[in-house]
Structure 1
Amino acid sequence: MKFKRDYYKPENERALCDFFEQMNNDSNCNTSRIVWELLRNAPYFEMFQLDKIGLWYEDNNLVASLQLLSPWPGSVIVDNRSDIENLLLDIIHYAEETFCGLKENKKHLVFYVDEKEDNLRTQTGLLEPMVTAKEYRKSGLGKACVYNSIKILQSYGCKKVFVDPDEEPYNYYCKIGFEGMDYTQCYEKVFE
């Protein structure tokens, strides 16, 4: 089967949103959808090199996408709903040509790959990491904020909530009931 590569244009935003919605239905947590929803109305959205977002089509259906994870080159998110064997290779090649960053004066690229899954379909929510000022720590305020946020997400029908904290608060989130998990595959490539 053949695929065709194209690039993001404002007129295909709805198709991209629908694609992320379908990826969310097919997977535990769709990182691209979360990033897209968070950033598309942000004032710095244009910094994400929108014209370079890669879109791959199979029989005129959007089956894969590639976008930057942040405004700075070096980290990308890949969503792939296709079973075409060489499609992922084309995506990787395009990412290497387009979005490499520099790390210690070498080309560097981190891939987060979400692929279609058939298990654990459910409505998901993302809880942004929270910080409590030092003078208010150990008073239960942070825990109350997290629990209240979870209640709000549940009121919207979420059955699963994700948080992506830095290393320091990781144990805190585990203590209040979050479990560590690997919801995506991450690959790093450093070019010699």
Structure 2
Amino acid sequence: MLAPLVLPFQITVAVFAVLWCLGAMTLRSPRRITWLSLAAMILFIPSCTGIMAIVDSQRYGRFDYAEASDVPDDGYIELPADATDITLYRNGAGHWAKFTIDTPSLRSWIGDRRSLRPDLNQHHDDDEWLTKTGNKQRQDMIELNQQVFGHRFPDTGWVYDPTMVQVHVTRSARGGGYTVWHVPSTGDTYLSAGYW
């Protein structure tokens, strides 16, 4: 869970090391070098916080892409190669995505993702891809699913559709993975991923 802090910490350490070396070479007095070291220790946390704010403004937030090949590869984001019209929200603990894809391509991609960790993705069958409409889905379950969907995608304005198919992919024994909601009739697909 500390992964978002690593890059700002590394940048701050590198900058301070260069500045300290330059200061030590130009100051040459042990007393001035001591003051320089003390200033570096006192300013380290505020500097790291400032660098983190700058870095986070570039790596987190909302991003739009025409197709999956446009999404930068960072080792965390997994989207089907056939996905188009992608809206991606990134944060330090996961990401949310909305994209368009046909059902057969999505099913194939989900199958491929699950096959990477078959020990964690057992007990799935074709019934999970059936749309639950009419009497098959009770009103209280629809309301519960709306709440879950709203909590998974806060502040996006995305709306739950009762015809959505919901599938899960587990990527980590600690629970990391993602949930995918898909509307077969339109191809609208929503992905909520968490990093553990």
TM-score normalised per structure 2: 0.22
Higher helix share: 2
TM-score normalised per structure 1: 0.22
The structure with the largest alpha-carbon Rg is: 2
- The answer to which structure, 1 or 2, has the higher relative contact order (CA under 8 A, 6+ apart) is 1
Higher strand share: 1
